[in-house]
Amino acid sequence: MKLHKILLVTIACTWALAASAQWQWLDKDGRKVFSDQPPPIEVPQKNILRQPGGSKGQSRPAPQAAGTADAASAAAAPASAASAPALGSGKDKKLEEAKAKADAEEAAKKKADADRTAKAREDNCARARRARDTLTSGGLIGHVNAQGERGFMDDATREAELKRADGVIASDCGKSVP
């Protein structure tokens, strides 16, 4: 039974230690703020009431005035500024790669569609030219009507088909712009 009490007291003490690892400061309105994160940089040192470790206002570096920077910190500033964009420009590299891949796939899809359209236009042009050659050959052209009867094309139908073939040639055999 004593072992249980000792264990319970030990656990209670560790919780108390965890609670002492809290920041405490006064905000701009004078209210006490408790947090496990350090206060924002705008909070002055005098308003920090408690911090982890028990001391007041020593773990947060004090801001330096612009005129008091020494030569070493002045030399270190450009180096850190130069390395900052290389470390993280605020963009996710995996996201950029995925976006570039999606753009490449979309461009490939558009090119495939354009190639397919160009191929269809070439095929239509070739068929229309063959049909025009057949229609202008002067021979009789036979066809089968809806009832399955064989007949021959008259001059009016021949002219209509010739105009249709010329229209297809004009639209598909010119410059193919997708």
CA angle (87 as vertex; 82, 93 as ends), nearest 5: 135
Together in a domain, 52 and 103? no
The number of domains in the chain is: 2
In this structure, the answer to whether residues 107 and 168 fall within a common structural domain is yes
Say yes or no: 108 and 165 in one domain. Answer: yes
Verdict on whether the full-model pTM lies above 0.85: no
Mean pLDDT across the stretch 14-38?
Answer: 81
Residue 177 falls within a domain, yes or no? no
* Same domain assignment for residues 46 and 101: no
What integer is the mean pLDDT of 48-54? 81
- Same domain, residue pair 101 and 52: no
Residue 18 falls within a domain, yes or no?
yes
pLDDT-derived band at 5, boundaries 50, 70, 90: confident
pLDDT of residue 112: 95
The neighbour count for residue 39, using CB atoms within 10 Å, is: 20
Instruction: Give the burial string for 98-120 (b: 16+ CB within 10 Å, else e).
Output: eeeeeeeeeeeeeeeeeeeeeee
Tokens of 9: 């007291």
Can you tell me the mean pLDDT for 34-42? 89
Q: Helix or strand or coil: residue 25?
A: strand
Q: Is there a domain that residue 87 lies in?
A: no
- Per-residue pLDDT, 104: 95
Residue 79 counted as domain residue? no
Each residue's pLDDT tens digit, 113-162? 999 999 999 999 999 999 999 888 888 888 888 898 998 888 888 899 99
Q: Which amino acid is at 74?
A: A
Whether residue 67 lies inside any domain: the answer is: no
Average pLDDT for 44-51? 88
Residues 110 and 162 in one domain: yes
Query: Is residue 130 in a domain?
Result: yes
Residue 5 within a domain: yes
For residue 108, is it within any domain? yes
Range of the domain at 31: 1-56
101 in Cβ contact with 141 (< 8 Å): no
Amino acid at 167: G
pLDDT tens digit sequence for 67-121: 444 444 444 444 444 444 444 455 688 888 999 999 999 999 999 999 999 999 9
Specify the higher pLDDT residue, 134 or 15.
134
